[in-house]
Structure 1
Amino acid sequence: MIAKRHLLSISIAALLSSQIIHAETLFDVYQLAVNNDPELKAAEATYRANIETEKLSRAALLPQITAQAYYQDSETESQSKSITSNNLGQTSVIDQHASTDSETENYSVSLNQALFDLPAWFSFKAGKKVSEQAEAQLAYEQQQLIVRTAEAYFNVLRGRENLDASKAEERAAKRQLEQTQQRFDVGLIAITDVHEARAVFDSTVAQRYSFEGTLAIARENLSSLTGQEHNNLWSLKKDFPITMPEPSSRAEWVDFALENNKLLQVSNAGASSAYQTAQAKKMEHLPKIAGSFSYTKNDLDGTTIYNPSSTFALPPDSYSETDALRITLTMPLFSGGGTSASRRQAYEQYNAANYNAQTTQRQVITNTRAQHIAVYTDVQTVNARHQNIISTRSALDATEAGYDVGTRNIVDVLNAQRSFYAATRDYTNARYDYVIDVLKLKLNAGTLSPADIIALNKWLQLPEPVTLNGSKTNKAAKS
């Protein structure tokens, strides 16, 4: 029996060690998200597609060279009437049949070059802005992935800690119910106290189910980024620093945002591209000058057989080489109003893009200020929530002592318990709100990078192994 217990202990220890070994950090999950997140993959594909716009628009300014060659083997049968004369000077009309067999080789090379084409030039400049827009959009999506990964990761930790607190509250409520039942059984209290305790216990059970569902959903959301399940994540250290943002000046953060915010760069590049496109449409009224050079070689060899034969029959052979240099001026005179309509349309599209850029700038300013306020509020909230845990713990101890001597009733004890565990969950939520809000502030400022993931990763620790009864192996010290 002792040997079996020893083997069971070894098995449990191995299981707990396996849990720790396979625990994943925030950086581990982020790397998986970079390689597997479909949103980022779609953004990368869109980026690669959009940067080709610059090359496509530049093509109209570069030489266009084409070459052509063909070989032709033909046989021709013909019949015609011809006049012939004999030695006596007599003429007659005869039917003559001709059979021609010929081979033709043709080679040509042509080069076309735009010499003066302002629409093509401004379209090229618009294409460059599209490339800038694509780069900024991809950078924004990469920063968004950092926020989405961190938010999904810490929401799992949030759900896990809230569930732990809920289970602890359920155990406390169960103990309180058992103690109340015992007191009722010996006639020390009324049945109403038992009903009160049972109502609270039932409420904690329902609450635990809710937190279990919330945690399961959080894990699903994290899995949607990586395509894998994550059941053993590293935890945020208790001494993770909650500090005011640096720099502390809200105006400096707004300046950072106006300079570096990726969405604002996307909007500004879009407006610039629309302006260049409008210029290109405007220039469609102007003439275009193009130059071209072509070289053609044509070689035909063949034989013709006449029946009856003819003294004057010649073979169909021919050979030619042609060099041609051409300058072409094209002047649009009237296109049914299409050119003017296209110009007006492009101008209004530029106006819309410009106004959208202004809207984005105002939103960036507002969001940066709001996020800065949120971080400041989070710092104060975390400190207040931590103090609230201390206060509610003291209040619970005092209420339980008063209940033991008869100065407080069961309702007071149950309310004190509820306040303490609610304070614990509020503190947990406040800490994770702070972490996410700091990342979102950096996202708005345009300074967010994988280095922030690495910095956060240093404040994670291995999760505490869980025993068979569901509690942690190392009990956390009371706050």
Structure 2
Amino acid sequence: MRQLSRRFGRALAGTTLSVSMLVFTPVQVAAETLADALIDAYKNSNLLDQNRALLRVADDDVAIALSSMLPTLDFIARFDAINPHRTLYKNPVTGRVSRDNLVGTFQLQAQIQIYAGGRNKLTLESRRETVLATREALRSLEQRVLLDAVRAYMEVLRAQAFVNLRENNVRVLGEQRQATGDRFDVGEVTRTDVALADSRLAAARSLLEASRGNLAVAREQFRTAVGRYPNNITSPGTLPQTAPSVQEAISVAVRTHPDIRQAQRQVTVGELGMRIAAGNYRPSVTAGVTAETNSNDQFQQQSLNVTVTQPLYQGGRLAALERQAIAQRDSSRANLLQTTLGIEELTGSAWANIEAATAQIRATELQIRAAEIAFEGTRDEAMLGARTTLDVLDSEQELLDARASRIDAIATQYVAVYSLLSAMGLMTVDHLNLGIQTYDPAGYYNNVKTAPARLSPRGAKLDRVLRKLGQQ
């Protein structure tokens, strides 16, 4: 009987040792860090590729707007069949004379818009502002991609830690079940104690399978966020620096967050749109030069023309366009105010989550120490017969819950800190010092902003840029 008691005591002692050794690192040998995951998320993101392409679309809108201010040159060919036949055609070989009713007219035409009420210049400026707004949207998306990678990384860590915790619990409860069965065989405990041990062991196995399922789900989420499955990930280490106070964090966020800066650009676009709509009432002046000839060399003509167009009445269309522009400007202003409020709320919430998680970690550490003392006492009293098996199992479960709460709090704290960085507009590759080459949003723009022709040297350079982008 004493041997059985000593065996039961060793099983309980194994609980304290094994649980206390469980830390927030899922593997003994780690091969991947959070920085690795962030780098791969940035490189593998289809969302970033999609929005980089949309930014290039906006870049070319600048070229299109500029082209409206430059001269155009067109070659025009027209073929007419004339009846009755009036044109004689003599075959130079046979000398046969026939009538040809097909006449070709060829025209070379150059045009330039001299004046458009300022609309062309305003449109060009509006397109430039749209490019800057789209760049901010790309920065915002970069933050979202990186933050999603942090969440996925911490979720895998959390899930793996819970699996380790549940596996350890199943092992310990299995030992307890064996010890309880041995004590029942010699009459120290009742069948009820054995049933309680069986019940706790079955529940632990159920929770273990659920934790493994959660880990499988977390791995799939990691693959979506990072572009691959996790590989022996380790604890992220030291938390990044943020701000000394919530007021300072909000101040930085209002100044630097890309959503706010994008909304500011959109307000400018709205104001330019109003000026463009007002310019629709002004006249436009177009000049052109035309050289024309036909296939029979019977008609040649060169002309210079100047066309002045002044809108007089267009069925209320111009007034409707002006009202739309005013409403769009007002909408952009309201959006700026609402976006600012949202970022301030997001920053304050992230700060509160950090404080709550930090306090929870401190509380769980105290809870763990107290639960360890309570468990040791319950175990010793059970060996003396003053406590039941149920008391020991309950005490062990409280210790397990405390350690699980700490794991959850640590993961929450990391996500909250990086969420605060994102709310401040600092969740970027450059600010995190990831040490990789980033996408240059100005590279493509600088090549297209002057509206280069396809066959020009600058156009050839642009083709090389496009091929390089397609290979990335």
**Which TM bucket (shorter chain)?**
0.7 to 0.9
State how far apart, in whole Å, the 2-side matches of 1:53 and 1:45 are: 13
Larger radius of gyration: 1
State how far apart, in whole Å, the 2-side matches of 1:406 and 1:455 are: 59
Could you say which residue in structure 2 is the equivalent of 1:234? 233
Could you say which residue in structure 1 is the equivalent of 2:454? none
Q: Secondary structure at the match of 2:280?
A: helix
Could you say which residue in structure 2 is the equivalent of 1:307? none
1:135-158, CA deviations, whole angstroms, 9 ceiling, x for partnerless residues? 001011111111111211121111
Question: In 2, are the aligned partners of 1:27 and 1:454 still within 8 Å (CA)?
Answer: no
Answering whether residue 347 of structure 2 is matched by residue 368 of structure 1, we say yes
**Percent identity between the aligned chains?**
18
Could you say which residue in structure 2 is the equivalent of 1:67? 74
Which runs of structure 2 are paired with 1:43-62 in the superposition (5 Å)?
43-60=51-68, 62=69
Q: How high is the TM-score relative to the length of structure 1?
A: 0.75
Q: How high is the TM-score relative to the length of structure 2?
A: 0.76
- The aligned amino acid for 1:376 is E
Report the aligned-residue RMSD: 3.0
Structure 1 residue 74 displacement after superposition: 9.2
Which runs of structure 2 are paired with 1:219-298 in the superposition (5 Å)?
219-230=219-230, 232-236=231-235, 240-241=237-238, 246-285=242-281, 287-298=282-293
State how far apart, in whole Å, the 2-side matches of 1:133 and 1:442 are: 21
Question: In 2, are the aligned partners of 1:264 and 1:361 still within 8 Å (CA)?
Answer: yes
State how far apart, in whole Å, the 2-side matches of 1:228 and 1:333 are: 62
Higher mean C-alpha deviation, range 268-277 or range 70-79:
70-79
Question: In 2, are the aligned partners of 1:242 and 1:379 still within 8 Å (CA)?
Answer: no
1:279-336, CA deviations, whole angstroms, 9 ceiling, x for partnerless residues? 3223222x223231304153775xxxxxxxxxxxxxxx6464524142x332211111
Q: 1:99 to 1:212 in 2, by over 3 A?
A: closer
Could you say which residue in structure 2 is the equivalent of 1:347? 326
1:48-68, CA deviations, whole angstroms, 9 ceiling, x for partnerless residues? 2233333333333x1231132
Structure 1 residue 242 displacement after superposition: 6.0
Gaps of 5+ in 1: 1-18, 80-96, 302-316, 457-479
Could you say which residue in structure 2 is the equivalent of 1:194? 194
Question: In 2, are the aligned partners of 1:282 and 1:343 still within 8 Å (CA)?
Answer: yes
Could you say which residue in structure 2 is the equivalent of 1:462? none
Question: In 2, are the aligned partners of 1:107 and 1:296 still within 8 Å (CA)?
Answer: yes
Q: Secondary structure at the match of 1:403?
A: helix
1:97-134, CA deviations, whole angstroms, 9 ceiling, x for partnerless residues? 99579997745231212324333333223222211111
Question: In 1, are the aligned partners of 2:177 and 2:194 still within 8 Å (CA)?
Answer: yes
- The aligned amino acid for 1:150 is V
Q: Secondary structure at the match of 1:293?
A: strand
- The aligned amino acid for 1:165 is L
Could you say which residue in structure 2 is the equivalent of 1:322? 302
- The aligned amino acid for 2:263 is S
Question: In 1, are the aligned partners of 2:55 and 2:134 still within 8 Å (CA)?
Answer: yes
Structure 1 residue 233 displacement after superposition: 2.4
Structure 1 residue 177 displacement after superposition: 1.6
Q: 1:99 to 1:433 in 2, by over 3 A?
A: closer
Could you say which residue in structure 2 is the equivalent of 1:128? 128
State how far apart, in whole Å, the 2-side matches of 1:400 and 1:127 are: 74
1:63-108, CA deviations, whole angstroms, 9 ceiling, x for partnerless residues? 23113265979998459xxxxxxxxxxxxxxxxx995799977452
State how far apart, in whole Å, the 1-side matches of 2:138 and 2:348 are: 24
Which runs of structure 2 are paired with 1:385-464 in the superposition (5 Å)?
385-450=364-429
1:217-271, CA deviations, whole angstroms, 9 ceiling, x for partnerless residues? 00011112344333x323117xx4469x643221111111001111122222223
Number of residue pairs aligned between Structure 1 and Structure 2: 399
1:8-27, CA deviations, whole angstroms, 9 ceiling, x for partnerless residues? xxxxxxxxxxx999933333
Higher mean C-alpha deviation, range 377-386 or range 445-454:
445-454
Structure with the larger strand share = 1
Q: 1:268 to 1:100 in 2, by over 3 A?
A: closer
- The aligned amino acid for 2:355 is Y
Question: In 2, are the aligned partners of 1:29 and 1:226 still within 8 Å (CA)?
Answer: yes
